[in-house]
Chain A
Amino acid sequence: MIDIREVTKVFGAGSDAFRALDRVSVTIRQNEFFTLLGPSGCGKTTLLRMIAGFEGPTEGTILLDGDDLAGKPPYERPVNTVFQSYALFPHMSVAENVGFGLRMLGRPKDEIAATVREMLALVRMSELAERQTAQISGGQQQRVALARALAPRPKVLLLDEPLSALDFKLRKEMQLELKRLQNETGITFVFVTHDQEEALTMSDRIAVMNAGRIRQIGVPREIYDHPADRFVADFIGDTNFLSAELTARTGDTATLRLPSGRTVEARAQGDGTPGKVTLAVRPEHAELAPPEEGALTGTLTEVVYSGTDTHYHVALDQEAGLFVLRRQNRPDAGPAHQRGDRVGIRLGAVAGQVLRD
């Protein structure tokens, strides 16, 4: 279990000081697949580096299974990293790279050889064991880096965008492989990505970060269905934002009045006082309807076909901006719509998520 408490990291000093992490607190459980998700520069790598021990927190503490890690050098932490830049040793073969950690731990030769073989088989690199690392492709290097970090069986494996250089198919395979490994080994995975789909499919829990802060922590469903704020709603998946007025609230359900005058129901957590709010609606949670039936009305400005789905862009009458809907392409899909059509937008029984501004 990794317990990160109120960790702040400031780079530089004086007027150059830059707050890369700001009072970050999170508890990562034993054998959890925990993902840090956020845009470039939000501090994901910085947080990983502090868990690994390459960087000390400016403030706050990090505990591993109850032990304070402060002052412990990286080589005394049972934590291994798959680096964003791979950082393979160029003067060693693939097999020597994978065996390096075990060699440093002073394990017997035959044990090292056996583990190296096992790890290389796991990442499908057995045939290239004797190659120099300069002679393999970027994706292969990434897999070697993964095998190298797994070989010493750490308590925690830190992965900094380990799949970013792989092609689509291999990436899907490796995603499943990683999940399987994590289940089998009992190792806690802390996984960094800025690919939200990857985060949603692989994680037990996700922490969404922005500008050095954690915006929301939750299981993938929670993050997707109940984004805590506008940033999370926008970053995870596509979202339409509508201005609305909250008129009443019972439990988790709020009644909203849209600018069109229509009343809809939506989910709301926290503060329930009436007033101006934002309603976040996922593109697949709304559908096109005749103008008179829609909670909103507008003009279709774009129809984009993308294989499995079709996206409809609607210019709203009631407010500025586009509303995007997504409909799965099925042979029995409803009537075809064309650019310039007047349309209505029907929202679901639960229209979306209420966000406070």
Chain B
Amino acid sequence: MDATTRSRALLLAPALFILTVAASGPLLIVFVYSFLTPGDYGGVVWDFSTQAWFNVIAERDFFTEELGWADAHLAVFWRSIKLSLLTALLSFLVGFPTAYFIATRPRRSRDMWMLLIMIPFWTNLLIRTFAIMELIRNEGTINTVLIAMGLVTAPVQMLYTEFSLLVGMTYVYLPLMILPIYASMERFDFRLVEAGYDLYASRWQVLRRIIFPLVKPGVIAGSILVFVPCLGAYVTPRVLGGGKQIMLGNLIELQFGQLRNWPLGAALSLTLLVIVMVALLIYVRAAGGEEARHG
């Protein structure tokens, strides 16, 4: 082993350590737990069982012993995926124009705008979530104003609905959409926009055929950065969903907490991981295919 190989091995050591011990280790434990039997007061009993995996999607009726779908779980899966997709979409609809606006400001003021975007992101998640709650609850700011203006007679129920989750998560994760789009746009050569206008492209066509294709890598990165943490979101659905609109993160927490079914919690966690991977694969495929068609 010569000097360079040795120093390279030394340099790699911390990364390898973190990968094996800190990432793979817990994952392995979760994997093993998902094939064990739940203990009576939480924890696991070391008896091999596939019951947890079975319970992820199916259940036996308590009285009739009839086999059926685990409707409660499936509803949570569906809600999580649906809300994560909608959050990514909404973040894009809000984030793309925002990033465009910032990227077209004079160079000096761009950093200031980005700072304004980032400040909420650095604020404690709970505080931000409670701020949203304050805005949308029945006695909150929005309803008070609406009633005062006479637009509605009774408060509009927004809190504890899927709508509140959507708004809350979009607010929380918006910077993760803006940042990569802005990074792409900053590298975008705006002289191409003039070339487009010169060649009879309208504003919309310039946006669709010139700007969008060239900042698409940023949009893809932003969508992934928003979609993935949304799938596993815990705090936002907990506070704004009020236990009625639970998502995957809350379901998993329930298994490890109140319901004392650690193997099921482990199996659900791994299911979440698989959903994320499959979603990423589909997305990257679709985006890459689009690229290839243009290329």
Interface residues of A (CB under 8 A from B): 52-54, 73-75, 79-81, 83, 85, 87-92, 100-101, 104-105, 132, 148-149, 152
Cα A105 to Cα B199 in complex, Å, equals 8
CB–CB B214/A87 < 8 A: no
Cα A91 to Cα B210 in complex, Å, equals 8
Please give the number of chain B residues whose Cβ is less than 8 angstroms from any Cβ of chain A in the complex: 19
Interface residues of B (CB under 8 A from A): 189, 191-192, 194-202, 205, 209-210, 213-214, 294-295
Name the distance in Å between B148's Cβ and chain A's nearest Cβ: 43
CB–CB B201/A91 < 8 A: no
CB–CB A90/B214 < 8 A: yes
Given contacts A87-B189, A87-B192, A90-B214, whether A75 and B295 have CB atoms under 8 Å apart is: no
Name the distance in Å between B240's Cβ and chain A's nearest Cβ: 40
Cα A99 to Cα B222 in complex, Å, equals 32
Residues of A within 8 A of B200 (CB): 75, 101, 104-105, 152
Cα A82 to Cα B198 in complex, Å, equals 10
CB–CB B199/A100 < 8 A: yes
Q: Is the interface of B mostly helix, strand, loop or mixed?
A: helix
**Which listed residue, B195, B197, B199, B213, touches A152 by the CB 8 Å rule?**
B199
Residues of A within 8 A of B202 (CB): 75, 104
Cα A263 to Cα B263 in complex, Å, equals 113
Q: Other than the known A80-B199, A101-B199, what 13 A-B pairs have Cβ atoms closer than 8 Å?
A: A54-B194, A75-B199, A80-B198, A81-B198, A85-B191, A87-B189, A87-B192, A89-B196, A91-B214, A104-B200, A104-B201, A104-B202, A149-B198
Cα A91 to Cα B195 in complex, Å, equals 14
Name the distance in Å between A148's Cβ and chain B's nearest Cβ: 7
Most central of B189, B196, B197, B200 by chain A CB within 10 Å? B200
Cα A81 to Cα B200 in complex, Å, equals 11
Chain A residue at minimal CB-CB distance from B294: A91
Residues of B within 8 A of A81 (CB): 195, 198
8 closest A-B pairs by CB: A101-B199, A87-B195, A74-B197, A104-B200, A104-B201, A87-B191, A91-B213, A75-B200
Cα A195 to Cα B272 in complex, Å, equals 66
Residues of B within 8 A of A75 (CB): 197-202
Most central of A73, A74, A81, A132 by chain B CB within 10 Å? A74
CB–CB A87/B205 < 8 A: no
Chain B residue at minimal CB-CB distance from A90: B214
Residues of A within 8 A of B198 (CB): 52, 54, 74-75, 79-81, 149
CB–CB A83/B195 < 8 A: yes
Given contacts A91-B294, A132-B295, whether A74 and B194 have CB atoms under 8 Å apart is: yes
Cα A225 to Cα B226 in complex, Å, equals 70
Cα A92 to Cα B197 in complex, Å, equals 16
Residues of A within 8 A of B195 (CB): 81, 83, 87-89
Name the distance in Å between A97's Cβ and chain B's nearest Cβ: 9
Cα A92 to Cα B291 in complex, Å, equals 11
Residues of A within 8 A of B189 (CB): 87
Given contacts A104-B200, A104-B205, A148-B199, whether A87 and B194 have CB atoms under 8 Å apart is: yes
Residues of A within 8 A of B214 (CB): 90-91
Residues of B within 8 A of A149 (CB): 198-199
Most central of A88, A89, A132, A148 by chain B CB within 10 Å? A89
**Which listed residue, B191, B205, B294, touches A83 by the CB 8 Å rule?**
B191
Chain A residue at minimal CB-CB distance from B189: A87
Residues of B within 8 A of A52 (CB): 198
Chain A residue at minimal CB-CB distance from B191: A87
Name the distance in Å between B286's Cβ and chain A's nearest Cβ: 17
CB–CB B294/A104 < 8 A: no
Cα A81 to Cα B191 in complex, Å, equals 12
CB–CB A89/B201 < 8 A: no
Residues of B within 8 A of A104 (CB): 199-202, 205
CB–CB B210/A89 < 8 A: yes
CB–CB A54/B197 < 8 A: yes
Name the distance in Å between A90's Cβ and chain B's nearest Cβ: 7
Name the distance in Å between A114's Cβ and chain B's nearest Cβ: 18
Most central of A75, A81, A132 by chain B CB within 10 Å? A75
Can you spell out 7 A-B residue pairs with CB atoms less than 8 angstroms apart?
A52-B198, A54-B194, A75-B199, A100-B199, A148-B199, A149-B198, A152-B200
Name the distance in Å between A47's Cβ and chain B's nearest Cβ: 15
Name the distance in Å between A147's Cβ and chain B's nearest Cβ: 12
Cα A75 to Cα B204 in complex, Å, equals 12
